[in-house]
Chain A
Amino acid sequence: MGDDRTDGSPRGLSPVARLILQRLGLSALLLVAVSLLIFIGIEALPGDFASTYLGQGATPRAVANIRAELGLDEPVWSRYLDWLGGALTGDFGASWASGQEVSGQIASRLGNSLFLAAIAALISVPLAIGLGMIAVRYRDRLVDRLINVVSLAAISLPEFFVGYLLILFFSVKFGIAAFPATVYPGMGVIERLEMVALPVATLVLVVIAHMMRMTRAAILSIMSSQYMETAELKGIGALRAIIHHAAPNAVAPIVNVVALNLAYLVVGVVVVEVVFVYPGMGQYMVDAVTVRDMPVVQACGIIFAAVYILLNMVADIISIVANPRLRHPR
């Protein structure tokens, strides 16, 4: 629909623009609140890191020294502001465990994780939407039931189970896939793709069932709406009814489903990376959690949360834009 009128509301902004701005503001606010929760939350929790860090037999003097060294003797608020300011400029401080800059470590690992999630998304999104549509098309018939049963089983499988199953068969038994999934800077794209084949397959299997079931539900609710009955009673044929009447209304719910599952994918990489010993953010974070390396944990936590919030925001904005009531105000 290219002939959108751009008549402005009294405030000079169309309702769509106003809602989008609101949503952007809300996401920023949410991100600040999350950073507060992650930082202050950890500070407020019981257990002193310095003594945990040094172990049971540490002398009080050593504890005091290490506190001063890590900056733990300053008030919480000033440390939070320091940290937030640093985080905004890409500086997450130094790791307690290795003493290296966290940002440098994260940069390449974030790229690796996003690469993994992106490839998985490229495969799973069209597949899931296609399967969801097939399930609707053959609703309550054998194909639909089969898809229902298989997807019900698939959403119950833990990622690590799927991962090891694939390793056992494709890597150990048949020897046609790589394990562990080692990647390093400067590696060629083809080589890289070969390396991530199994992790991607795991992610796809895990996320596709969820996405397909949600797509099916979203399309079904549209197909059972009254305007689809009107279309049928106009005798315009099933194909035209679906393309012309169902599709425009299906965009927003399906995009929502996709964004929700992409957010799920980003988190799903954590377990998959551990299974395949893949050098990404997830493995980095899990390692940091085991040794209580707080700067790394905080940095990874805020980045994962940011990606998640961003994807949800994109989904909301697309539903705002796709809503004819908002696009064409009274």
Chain B
Amino acid sequence: MADPLLKVRDLEIGACACDEDGNLREIEIVKGISLDLERGHVLGLIGESGAGKSTIGLAALAYGRGGVRITGGQVLLDGQDILELGPRRIGQIRGARVCYVAQSAAAAFNPAHRLGAQVIEGTIHHGIMSRAEARARAAELFGILGLPDPATFGNRYPHQVSGGQLQRAMTAMALCPRPDLIVFDEPTTALDVTTQIDVLVAIKRAIRESGTAALYISHDLAVVAQIADDIMVLRHGETVEYGSTRQIIETPQKDYTRALVNVRTVVKEPAEQQSEAILRLKNISASYGTGPKVLDNVSLHVPPGQTLAVVGESGSGKSTLARVITGLLPPSEGEVVFEGTLLPPRLAQRSRDQLRQIQLIYQMADTAVNPRHTVAQIIGRPLRFYHGMHGQRRRERVQELLDAIEMGRGFSDRYPAELSGGQKQRVAIARALAADPKLIICDEPTSALDPLVAEGILKLLMKLQRQTGVSYIFITHDIAIVRAIADSVAVMLNGRLQRFGPRGQALSPPFDAYTDLLLKSVPETKVGWLERALASRRMESGGH
């Protein structure tokens, strides 16, 4: 066998970052990476945010985003070091031999031009095909990628199609010139689970049929496992482990990889169902302004000391549910009953004690805590506001809470900018806890965090529930989390409750059609899962 298509040797990449004083500082973000990629093969790059995986992907096009600069090493494409090429020569490779698929196709397409023209632009510019040939090729690719009306799809503008369709159009754009290599940069991360599986299947099929090689970048091992021949695990810009997909998944050598593979270590036996409930929603409907109903006749309840998981995709109304319960959005119909008493629909009408009983934890810890307040101020405010604590007593209680969220005492004078994402989320949890609530609503508190950090947060939440007997409403799109921590489950679709009941019952057959689709769409970290999921889907649709 000759040289591999792509050969990277000792790649080093630096970036200019500004410190607090606005001074430029050089930091290393990729430290000596080497990899090989054969023609027609797919290599998965996996790691947490900041692991340098996107930067490596773009280096395959000799491109550095923003202040990023490639400082050392070689990127050999068919034996030629593309880092040494001048702008004209590298321009001949980009969009012809190596193509790129961005994470957010919505921003990557020019709003002023039709999709078709953008898809074939590079192909025509590089003289690979005539305009007519490129059009035909694009229509063919639209068909392979499962886009509606392949012949006329290209006449639409980017804002006229959905996010999943844009992502597929971007894949078509990359495939159009029949490149040797495509870099996929988290192409399904912004999509819903049920859409993700379709796009994943489309990408896999298109790669196989065109025989192109690919670098597939993702933070989700389960996704990469479905599509890659080899996997490289990255952390802090260094290789942790590099091997075949089967080897990485079935016999990981390093602790970090093992942790990624078996990420879910939180296990909670579902509690026995109780008839009493701390919170009861009765026939809730709600809408924003005069718009359509975002919630339609939803009834459910949460027993004390237990966790209700609310599952759904974007637009299902699960976050609106939290807004109704907290009083931010008064329902148009229905009642919210807390501990047997009817809660006033509006926030302003609720008493301070009623507000204290229900606390909220947000998805984005970055924006959930005030960047100009110290940790002690953030946690201390509810102590003073609800419990009138002052001086020494308040300081002591803040320390206790910091201990409870497993953060050291030295943190109380720090500002949020000095904390990591996971630490910020812990501070937000401590702030909720400081109120001594009976119910905490967790709105996707782990979805913005890296898997191992998220696992730590889940463990903490479970520990706090055991210690304090607090109830949770856990809003999420992640079925794996539901399986791990929920006592009861509510599945939502388009503002309606599809399914509600104890975990064992809700997640066992017989299913309604949507819950079935949802459960089958969640990738599992197993080789060949995608094919099996597809097969079972086809079987069912054949049976109907």
- Please list the residues of chain A having a beta carbon within 8 angstroms of any beta carbon in chain B: 225-227, 229-237, 240, 244-245, 248-249, 324-325, 328, 330
Separation in Å of the B187 CB from the closest CB of chain A? 14
Q: State A249–B108 Cα separation when bound (angstroms).
A: 14
On chain A, the residues within 8 Å of B102 by CB distance are 226, 229-230
B107, A325: Cβ atoms closer than 8 Å? no
Bits for B226-238, please: 1 = Cβ < 8 Å to A, else 0.
0000000000000
CB of B293 closer than 8 Å to a CB of A: no
B122, A324: Cβ atoms closer than 8 Å? no
B63, A324: Cβ atoms closer than 8 Å? no
CB of B65 closer than 8 Å to a CB of A: yes
Known: A226-B108, A229-B65. A235 touches B159 (CB 8 A): no
Residue of A nearest to B96 (CB): A235
Known: A227-B107, A325-B111. A232 touches B159 (CB 8 A): no
B159, A325: Cβ atoms closer than 8 Å? yes
CB of B94 closer than 8 Å to a CB of A: yes
Known: A226-B104, A240-B125, A325-B159. A235 touches B92 (CB 8 A): yes
Residue of A nearest to B111 (CB): A324
Q: State A33–B113 Cα separation when bound (angstroms).
A: 40
CB of B2 closer than 8 Å to a CB of A: no
Q: State A237–B127 Cα separation when bound (angstroms).
A: 14
A328, B157: Cβ atoms closer than 8 Å? yes
19 further A-B contacts with Cβ under 8 Å, apart from A235-B92, A236-B95, are: A226-B104, A226-B108, A227-B111, A230-B108, A231-B110, A232-B63, A233-B63, A233-B94, A233-B95, A234-B121, A240-B125, A244-B113, A245-B112, A248-B112, A249-B112, A324-B111, A325-B111, A325-B157, A330-B159
Give the dominant DSSP class at A's interface. Answer: helix
CB of B322 closer than 8 Å to a CB of A: no
CB of B91 closer than 8 Å to a CB of A: yes
CB of B216 closer than 8 Å to a CB of A: no
Q: State A229–B58 Cα separation when bound (angstroms).
A: 11
Residue of B nearest to A325 (CB): B159
Within 8 Å by CB of B122, from A226, A236, A328, lies A236
Q: Which interface class (under 10, 10 to 19, 20 to 34, 35 or more) fits B?
A: 20 to 34
Q: State A1–B111 Cα separation when bound (angstroms).
A: 14
Residue of B nearest to A238 (CB): B87
Within 8 Å by CB of A235, from B91, B107, B108, B160, lies B91
On chain B, the residues within 8 Å of A236 by CB distance are 91, 95, 121-122, 125
CB of B389 closer than 8 Å to a CB of A: no
B112, A324: Cβ atoms closer than 8 Å? yes
Bits for B103-141, please: 1 = Cβ < 8 Å to A, else 0.
010011111110000000110011000000000000000
B109, A227: Cβ atoms closer than 8 Å? yes
On chain B, the residues within 8 Å of A230 by CB distance are 100, 102, 108-110
Within 8 Å by CB of A227, from B90, B110, B126, lies B110
Residue of B nearest to A250 (CB): B112
6 intermolecular pairs with C-beta atoms under 8 Å apart: A225-B107, A229-B108, A234-B125, A235-B90, A235-B93, A325-B111
B157, A226: Cβ atoms closer than 8 Å? no
On chain A, the residues within 8 Å of B112 by CB distance are 245, 248-249, 324
A234, B95: Cβ atoms closer than 8 Å? yes
On chain A, the residues within 8 Å of B475 by CB distance are none
On chain A, the residues within 8 Å of B358 by CB distance are none
Q: State A236–B110 Cα separation when bound (angstroms).
A: 14
Q: State A300–B94 Cα separation when bound (angstroms).
A: 60
On chain B, the residues within 8 Å of A325 by CB distance are 111, 157, 159
Q: State A60–B157 Cα separation when bound (angstroms).
A: 74
On chain A, the residues within 8 Å of B122 by CB distance are 234-236
Q: State A248–B102 Cα separation when bound (angstroms).
A: 22
Bits for B142-185, please: 1 = Cβ < 8 Å to A, else 0.
00000000000000010110000000000000000000000000
On chain B, the residues within 8 Å of A248 by CB distance are 110, 112-113
Separation in Å of the B122 CB from the closest CB of chain A? 4
Separation in Å of the B55 CB from the closest CB of chain A? 14
Q: State A239–B525 Cα separation when bound (angstroms).
A: 46
Separation in Å of the B451 CB from the closest CB of chain A? 26
Q: State A324–B118 Cα separation when bound (angstroms).
A: 15
On chain B, the residues within 8 Å of A231 by CB distance are 110
B110, A235: Cβ atoms closer than 8 Å? no
Separation in Å of the A267 CB from the closest CB of chain B? 33
On chain B, the residues within 8 Å of A324 by CB distance are 111-112, 157, 159
Residue of A nearest to B112 (CB): A248
A233, B100: Cβ atoms closer than 8 Å? yes
9 A-B pairs with least C-beta separation:
A235-B94, A234-B95, A234-B122, A235-B95, A248-B112, A226-B107, A227-B110, A235-B91, A233-B100
Separation in Å of the A44 CB from the closest CB of chain B? 37
On chain A, the residues within 8 Å of B90 by CB distance are 235
CB of B61 closer than 8 Å to a CB of A: yes
Residue of A nearest to B66 (CB): A224
Separation in Å of the A146 CB from the closest CB of chain B? 21
Q: State A233–B90 Cα separation when bound (angstroms).
A: 10
Separation in Å of the A224 CB from the closest CB of chain B? 9
Within 8 Å by CB of B110, from A237, A249, A328, lies A249
Separation in Å of the B195 CB from the closest CB of chain A? 19
On chain B, the residues within 8 Å of A237 by CB distance are 91, 125
On chain B, the residues within 8 Å of A227 by CB distance are 107-111
Residue of B nearest to A235 (CB): B94
Residue of B nearest to A240 (CB): B125
Candidate in A225, A235, A245 with the most chain B CB atoms within 10 angstroms: A235
A233, B61: Cβ atoms closer than 8 Å? yes
Q: State A249–B110 Cα separation when bound (angstroms).
A: 9
Candidate in B110, B113, B157 with the most chain A CB atoms within 10 angstroms: B110
Q: State A245–B113 Cα separation when bound (angstroms).
A: 8
Q: State A135–B125 Cα separation when bound (angstroms).
A: 28
Bits for B70-104, please: 1 = Cβ < 8 Å to A, else 0.
00000000000000000000111111100110101
Known: A245-B110, A249-B112. A235 touches B104 (CB 8 A): no
Residue of B nearest to A224 (CB): B66
Q: State A237–B90 Cα separation when bound (angstroms).
A: 10
A234, B94: Cβ atoms closer than 8 Å? yes
Separation in Å of the B27 CB from the closest CB of chain A? 20
On chain B, the residues within 8 Å of A249 by CB distance are 110-112
